[in-house]
Structures are given as C-alpha cells and as structure tokens.
A and B are shown apart, each in its own frame.
Chain A
Amino acid sequence: MSELIAGRIGEIVEATTAAFTARCHELYVAPALGTLVRAGGNNPVLGIVAEVRTQSLDPSRRPIAMGVDEETEEAVYEHNPQLNRLLSTEFQAIVVGYESESGLKRHLSPFPPRIHSFVYECGRDRLREFSSSYEFLPSLLNSPIGPQDELIAAFLRYSSLTQEDAQAYLVGAGKALAPLLIGQIQRLNNILIRLIS
C-alpha cells in the first residue's frame, strides 16, 4: 500500500468515459506525456497522459509577470510563496483500458472513475503487460486530446524500454500502425521518425 501512495501523483477532478483530468498534488510534479496511469478503486481505469497543463487556479485571473527584479526563476517562487497556491498543474489522460476481475482490458471502462479518485503512475510490469499488445494504438491515434502523433511516439518509446527487444518492439508497433494509416503515409513517416529519435 505504501508503494501505491509513493506512486500517487494526483486526484481526478473531471472524468468522462473516454478521458479524465487530474490535478497534481504538487505544482509541476506531473507525469510525463505518454505515461501510463491508473485511477479508481475496484476496477481501476488505465489512462495515458495526453496533455499536461499548468495554469492559474482561478480562470479569471491570469498570472502576471513577476520576475522583473529577480535574478533567477527560482527566486521568483521563493519570494512569492503564494504562487504554489494560486497555480496548479493538471494533466489529462485518455482512457485506454481498465482492470477487471478477469484481467487487463484494452478498451473503455463501462464507467468513468469517480471524482477525487487518486491517480497513480503504473509500474514497469504493468506497463509491459499493457503494451505487450498493440490494441491501444487506434485509441491513441484518435485521441481527442493533445498531439496524437507525439503521444503515440512518446508512449511507444517508454513501453519499448520495458520489452526485451526494444527495436523489434518498435518495428512491430510500426507495422501495426501502417495499416491504420493507409492514405496517410507522411503521418506514418512522422511517427516513425519520432520513434527512433
């Protein structure tokens, strides 16, 4: 349990069946783009971080420039401790599956996670298990949030590191993407370049 708390990164503040938004517990401490996260209690939902955003808590008050007289960026925050309360970091994840009693599912959960569900970053084993099949690719390609192609590339780069043969894994992923991108050869090309760079 303590391990789970250790991996906790935020709390859901908005949820639909296809995506959820979570607020990070700490400013700027957000999962990276393409991270596999899980949220919710009994049948936890699995999501992939598609967008990370830091903004003013009050949408009507935009942050103003405060560093005119400061030497460093850090000094801005040191001299204005209220900033940690006025700004918040949020991330959006698209739902790519869920865990059920019968195992890992790679399609939408029938219900979205509850608001205030804690969100955890998935460990290496979970990431490997989830990414061992390329079924998630269509949902990423059609992600309503964030830059889809970058998202795919980022997620595949992470997950390849958990696989025994990263290169073969990426080739396999490319081959799985190719039929999904018939007629969009340049888009395929762009994703492939991002996979290996």
Chain B
Amino acid sequence: MTGRLGMVVAGSLTEGVQIRLDVGISTETIKVGTFVSIQGGKFRFFGQVTGVALETADMSLRGVPPDVSNPFIEQVISGTTAYGMITVEPMLVIADSDDPATVLDGPQPAKTIPPHFAQVSIATENDIEIVFGEEDEEHFYIGTPLDMETRLALNIPELVTRSNGVFGKSGTGKTFLARLLLIGILQKSNAVNLVFDMHGEYGWKGSSEGTGREVKGLKQLFSSRVAVFTLDEESSRRRGLAPDYVVRIGYQEIEPEDIQILRETLNLSDVAADAVYSLHRHFGRNWLQDFLSHKGREGVRDLADSIGVNSTALSSLHNRLSRLERLPFIEGSGHDSLNQILRYLERGMHVVLEFGRYGNDLASYILVANLLTRRIHDRYMQMSEQASGDPNRQPRPLVITIEEAHKFLTPSVADQTIFGTIAREDRKYNVTLMVVDQRPSGIDEEVMSQLGTKITCLLDSERDVDSVLTGRSGSRKLRDVLSRLESKQQALAFGHALPMPVVIRTRNYGSLESYKELGFRDDADSLSDITKARDDLFGPP
C-alpha cells in the first residue's frame, strides 16, 4: 500500500496528531507501528501510527445506523459521515526547506507538529532510507520494518561507540539477532569482536531452535577474519574442528576480584569472600595455588589463625574454591592466552572463545570472561593513554559480547566487575559491551541505563519489560509495542544508533541465499573465482 492516507485535523505534541483518513482508506489496512510521513508547510515530518479509531461526524449514526444492507448507501456513508482516524506521533523532521542542517545532519527530533490539513502518506522507501540510512559501508541491513519490504539498516560505527543490549526470552531469536549484529560489526566497522560464547552458538556453527537445523557460525562465513579459541579442546576435536588456539588460565592470573564476582555463583558469605584479600596479601601472586595446597581441616585452620580470619569462613572458601582445581583449563602458570587474544584482536581478527562443556558451568564462564576482560580492558586503557591525543594510535575499538549477563551484572556486584565499569565508562577506552540476556531485570539498573542501543525480542515478565525501557521517554507506548511482538523474528530496536524506535522483522539467516547475501562464497563460487583468475592471467583455455 502506498500513497496518501489522509490529512491532519487535530493533535498535540504530547498526544500525537490526529489524522482523518481519506475516503476509501479503510482502518483495516493501517496497523499500529506503520511509518508515515506528513508534509507540513515548511517541514516534512516522519512519524509512526500509534492509534487507530472509528469516528462518526454524526453522533446519531451510532443510535440509528443507516441502511447499510444497501451497498450504495454503505458506499456513500463510509469515509464521509463514518470515517477512520489514526493517531500519529511525529518523531522526526526529515526535511526543512529553509534549514540545510536537516539535509546535512539528517533527521532531527520533532519539536513541533505539522499544521492543520497537512497531507499524510505512508512513508516511502526513500523516507526510510533518509531516516535510518541506506545499506552502505557503515549501515548494516538488519531487517525490515513491519509490513514493509524496505531494508532497514543500522549504523554500525555508531552502534559500537556505546555498549548495547540484545534481550528476549529464550527461543525468540536473540542469538540469531546477536549473530547478525556481530556480522554487522565485522563487515561495517573497524571494530573487532571478542565473543564469550557460552553455548557454542557463534564460532563454527549454531543451531536453530525451531527446526533444530544447524546454521553457520562466524568462522564458516568469514574464516579469514575470525579465530575460534576454545577452553575445551576435547569438545572441539570431538566436533571435528581445529580451534585456532586453546586457552589456558594460570593460577597466578586469578586475582581476588575474580573471586568476588563469583560470590553469588559459588554461594560465598561476605566474610569468606573478603578473606580472599587477606589470602592475597599473605601469599602474594600465587595465592590461589598456595591456598588450595593447604589440605585438610587442620591446615586451613592454622592458616586462618596466622592471617587472622574466621576459620569456618576460610574452610568454606577452601571448599568452594577447590572446585576450580578440577577445571582442566586452570593449570600451572605463565600462559600466554591473554596476549594471544590481544595479538589477534590487534590484527583485526575477531575472536570467539568457545567454552565447550564448561559453558554449562556458570562459575567457569564468569571467571574466565571476567578475568580476560579485566586484563584486556587494562591493556586498552594503557594503549589509549599512550595514544592520548593521537587518534591514529588509538587502539582498534573492541566489542565484548557476553551472555547470561544478569548473572554477573546484578546490582550487588555490578560496581565491582569490569563489565559494570565498561558499561559505565562508555567508549573512553574504545571497549564496549554487547550484552545478550534473557532476564534484563536481573541486570543493574545503572548498567541498563548506560546501554546505548537496545534490541529486544519478546519479553514476558513485566519486570523485564520495565527494566529494558528504563529511562526511555514515551515508554508507555513502547511497552504496548513490545508486548505485541510476535514470538519469533521480531524485535523492537531503539536507542543511540537509531533515530527512533522501530519494530523490525529480523533478516533471514540460515539459508544459502542469506549467507551469500552476507558475502559468503561457497565452493562453486570459489571455483569460478579461481577459473576467472586463471583466465585473467593466462587467457581462456
């Protein structure tokens, strides 16, 4: 459907403008969320339908309806005495005949409303492109607006300047969405990804929950630009994959802060958790290994006495931490995993760290993600400071993707973990987060409010919805939109990288065409490339 819908007849900036539908435009054809453009005298407004209503010019029509069994009479009355109204919220001014800034800087937020009788039409493909940007070197096609075929593109360099969130209850397509965003970052910006891949969904292949079908991961599509690291070499081998690097963590690399963040996961009391600092003071860098080498209740009690902490607390700490000993990826000292990751990142390689079977062990995930991130962040901080003032020497922007974030960005620990710090300090050091989570209400409110762009699939719980929309103006309307999302392939996106909130039908992912559209070249393509290259060199055979 295209063309004119009607004209502005009433409205306000706070409540939106009322549009009387033209004769012949049925309310059935207009859905809430449809994009429209309104041509005012001086500006062109871009807005979204927020309400649809039936009106009559003649109140007696309600009590004494005309004889609509006669099609002629029905035809005459509908659209004239009985008509449709829509409410549109003008969101942006997309063109101003007098102000070149709207042309140069793009759409500006609407601070006024169009005049009476301004013409309203369905937004054209061109309007959408003006507002959201065309698919180009910086804009990544993420999906289509509802009921439209127009490609909606996301400004990726803008996206990665802030931390972002992808939310949705399980099975709504969060992972697919996150995977698309990762590809977007890979293709359309100079940022690099570091993905803490809990369930092995991003690296080599993922799975589609609905069909159980396998879909390609980043490595399969962009093998030259993606490195898969693993914590669990055995699991990788079992799947017939050769990881680029097997990550090992030395005991000395684990610091008291890394244990603090595990407080809830390991169910440590405050006293026990604080004892970690005493141990660190006592033993120095190799505190964990030294502490765990104290075997037996006696040994621990003696230690408690000598460093002056409660012996019960220390022995429960000993119990809990001894499970770390059983994790095969924690061993010895002097590993180079961190530098290896950094080297890849500096070269512009995207790193996916697969957890293999340790993905199911939350403590491992949190420990490793936190430990590596903290060090990477430190390094980025140093690099940023060294490069201060020289934009050319700034480190390459890094986006760290974490899953199940509500487990370690809870209000109680958010201010202690590195992730809380990164979310808060924004792009100062060129490190940002992409939080993929199903229970946003579990995430610290401050962290949530710092997320620049949020893309959320369907959420059921009121608290989760509240938390996603925290601090967002017009959240009442968004809440309605969010609750009406379909449970698959639909998401509400809003925030920093988008000029206005939008509901999208996520782009397809998983078919050969979808891969090719993303730039994937299969064997046949490669063969024809080779043939072409050979012919170019030696002439056709």
Contacts and interface: CB of A to CB of B under 8 A. Distances in A.
B77 A170 contact: no
Nearest to B24: A175
Contacts of B58: 182-185
Instruction: Tell me what chain B mostly uses at the interface: helix, strand, loop, or mixed.
Output: loop
A171 B67 contact: no
A189 B75 CA distance: 12
A193 B60 CA distance: 19
Contacts of A188: 66, 76-77, 81
Nearest to B81: A178
Interface string B139-159: 000000000000000000000
A166 to B, nearest CB: 12
Interface residues of B, number: 17
Given A175-B23, A178-B80, A189 B73 contact: yes
Nearest to A173: B76
Given A178-B81, A189-B66, A189-B67, A171 B61 contact: no
Instruction: Tell me what chain A mostly uses at the interface: helix, strand, loop, or mixed.
Output: helix
B1 interface: no
Interface in A180-196: 182-186, 188-189, 192-193, 195-196
Interface in B44-76: 57-58, 60-61, 64, 66-67, 70, 72-73, 75-76
B529 to A, nearest CB: 60
B57 A182 contact: yes
Max chain B Cβ within 10 angstroms of own Cβ: one of A183, A192, A193: A192
Contacts, number: 54
A186 B61 CA distance: 9
Contact of A185 (B23, B64, B70, B72): B64
Max chain A Cβ within 10 angstroms of own Cβ: one of B60, B61, B76, B79: B76
B74 to A, nearest CB: 10
B76 A175 contact: yes
Interface in A157-188: 167, 170-171, 174-175, 177-179, 182-186, 188
Interface in B24-60: 57-58, 60
A141 to B, nearest CB: 15
Contacts of A177: 76
B64 A186 contact: yes
A196 B80 contact: no
Nearest to B67: A189
Nearest to A174: B76
Q: Which 4 pairs show the lowest CB-CB distances between chains A and B?
A: A174-B76, A178-B80, A178-B81, A175-B80
Interface of A: 167, 170-171, 174-175, 177-179, 182-186, 188-189, 192-193, 195-196
Given A178-B81, A185-B66, A185-B81, 8 more contacts: A167-B72, A178-B76, A179-B57, A185-B58, A189-B66, A189-B67, A192-B72, A193-B73
